[in-house]
Amino acid sequence: MNRAVPKRKEPSPEELLEREEKRRGWIRFRMGLLSGVLALGLGLIVSSGYTIMVEDGPAWREMAEMQRKRRLHVAPKRGTIYDRGGSSLAVSVEVPSVSLDAAELLRGIPSQDVPVVARNAANRIAAVLGLEPAQVERRILGKRRFNWLKRQISAEEADKIRALSSDEGPGRRVRGLTVEGEGRRYYPRRELASALLGFVAPDGEGKDGLEYALNAELAGRVESLNGLRDRSGRLIFSEGIDDERALAGHDIQLALDQGIQYVAERELLQAMRTFEAKAGSVVVLDPNTGEILALASVPLFNPNDYRESEPEARRDRGSAEAFEPGSTAKIFTIAAGLAAGVVKSGDRLYCENGSMAVDNVTIRDTHPAEWLSLSQVLAVSSNICAAKIGLSLGENRLYEALRRFGFGEKTGIPSPGEATGTLRPRGRPWVQVETAAASFGQGVSMTNLQVALATAAIANGGELMEPILIKRVTTATGELIREAVPRVRRRVVPPFVARTVSELLVAVTEGEGTGVEAAIDGYRVAGKTATAQKTDPATGRYSLDRYVASFVGFVPAEKPLVTIAVMIDEPMVEHAGGAVAAPIFRRVAKMALETRGLIPRGVARADLAELSASPDPARAAYQALRERDGKKPPIQESVGSGPAPSGKLRLPDLTGMPARAALAKAYHLGVVPAMQGSGLLVSQTPPPGSVVDPGATVTLVFEPAS
């Protein structure tokens, strides 16, 4: 039976309208709710953006800049050091160095894999650079943005590092490695003036000599330079500098003459070998301007390989080593006595026959005498007469005179180790015996540079000059920073005293003076020898076998162009200043005169040191004389026990003559001198009165006057 399905009731229009209103209300509610949620979200975003961009903006910008930019570790080019003629003594050249950005190397590496990656990278880097793998691994694990791995590497090492950090290199690329150009100091003249110049360490800082003293000017101006980098850390742009020369160090031009400096060092080295000396120094000055033309010191070292040298070899002994000057101090004692009027140029002094007691000390002379003029006091170097002048001055006036000459104070040159020397024991004046000792250079100490400057004051008429070592300073672009001009520090003695002392000093290098080996043919040389005993640190007394041999002088005596001070420390074969230091003065002075266009004239001196390389030194000396004169030496009338046979020569008695005079006499007689030793002639073979042929060899044996 079929059941009937009730028929569904159709909603009325009112119901349909009501339902439509409900549906629209629900839609509006959902839209409002969604809009509210969106508005709230937008508000939070805007609020966060405001906080980040406005309130925390500076901090975020700084962080972004730190991530985006990289500090450039490029030092400015170090200034060049020149000699007075513009020749380079110290220059900077660019060499590669390798640095590591450890954070970049480990970027993106999971923390558990970092030790393995660091170890592998360290092994590969260490193998290329010759470093310890553990050391490199520690730097990698430190995760610093910059580390120097190795500075001033070879070109081969640089190529291997570039291959290691390149995508084309073998194995996995090692990121964070950078090869950068870095300045390295190079000394093209090697050992020349090495103690004066000093050296520069790999970090670019001067560590000794002028490189240290003038480091602020030579090193240049360092600024913070930044570079942009991409996400891989590669530098793509740099900023902050328009002209790199603006940051470069200043160029320094010295008053030094490298030719004179070379000769001075060569002669010092020769003297060290000949006399088995410990060390030595030579100072060459222009007495009229104070310019230092040479400041030589031995032993030498090569500043390009300074690690191979001993610290003792790096001392500038001309300015940093004080020593008891000995008899050269008599120059200043006599000058002070003349200036004070306690002694006059024509006076003769009683010399006590070579022995004089002062307090409980006996002062002795090497050449005992009864009466001596002032010129003889200097010529034979009388300690007793110098002591009498010093005692006449008194402790205060002698001390003040030595201070006026510049002793006991620094000269002011830019030398980091310059010594002041010592005049008085600290805290008390001299007693009488100390005053006497200071008069002839004992109990006081001076540097060779101080002695040279004080002697230059005698040479130029009595004015102590400011020493000029730095002649000119310019920027890398050529702009003049400063230029030295001659400046008088003070007047030390009146002009007439300086002229008088100059004439007295000429006697030292002529006749029977102790400095005849310093004489230069054709010029009058003023100078003074010294042979000073050194104190023994173990006993506090003067040593019997350790000496300082020195000579100081100037030439030409009438109108001096150069002042030269020579000091040889602990010569063993011979220790007299006239035999050891005076010949060095002569050879350096010849070079200095030649640089001024003055060629020594007259009869040449046969110098054993210069002729020792010849198979026959005597014949070489004779030939040198003939070539210099341009003709055969004239045969003069013989002297002795009667006339010589025709065509023969009778030898005169030459004993007692200084080497220079004996050689000239033999030359004019027409015989060949075979010289042995130095000083005064003590014997000749054949003996006086012997008849010889022209051109025969005559052996002349010399011994020091002391």
DSSP 605-673: P--HHHHTTSSSHHHHHHHHHHHHHTSPPP-PPP-SSSPPPTT-EE----TT-BHHHHHHHHHHHT-EE
Q: What is the mean pLDDT of residues 2-11?
A: 64
* Residue 333 clears pLDDT 60, i.e. is over it: yes
- pLDDT tens for each residue of 439-465: 999 989 999 999 999 999 999 999 999
* Residues forming CATH 3.40.710.10 domain(s) in the chain: 258-595
What's the CATH fold of domain 93-188? Penicillin-binding protein 2a (Domain 2) (3.90.1310)
Per the annotation, the verdict on 445 as an active-site residue is no
Give me the pLDDT at residue 62, please: 66
Angle in degrees, CA 424, 428, 429, rounded to 5: 60
**Taking the CA atoms of the chain, what radius of gyration do you get in angstroms?**
42
Q: Which CATH architecture has domain 608-703?
A: 2-Layer Sandwich (3.30)
Helix or strand run (H / E) with residue 588: helix 582-595
> Which is higher by pLDDT, 48 or 199?
199
**Residue from 92, 99, 165, 327 carrying the catalytic annotation:** 327
Give me the pLDDT at residue 603, please: 38
Helix or strand run (H / E) with residue 383: helix 383-393
- pLDDT tens for each residue of 475-484: 888 889 999 9
Mean residue pLDDT across the chain: 81
Report the range of poorest mean pLDDT among 163-167, 185-189, 545-549, 557-561: 163-167
* Residues forming CATH 3.30.10.20 domain(s) in the chain: 608-703
- pLDDT tens for each residue of 117-160: 888 888 888 888 888 888 888 888 887 878 778 877 777 888 88
- Is the N-terminal amide bond of 299 cis, ω within 30° of 0? yes
- 3-class secondary structure, 16: helix
* Residue 622 clears pLDDT 50, i.e. is over it: no
Give me the pLDDT at residue 345, please: 82
- pLDDT tens for each residue of 250-294: 899 999 999 999 999 999 999 999 998 999 999 999 999 999 999
Share of the chain above pLDDT 90, in %: 33
Q: 258-595 maps to which CATH number?
A: 3.40.710.10
* Residue 633 clears pLDDT 70, i.e. is over it: no
Give me the pLDDT at residue 604, please: 41
End-to-end alpha carbon distance in the chain: 167
Written as six digits, the tokens of 267 are: 């002669």
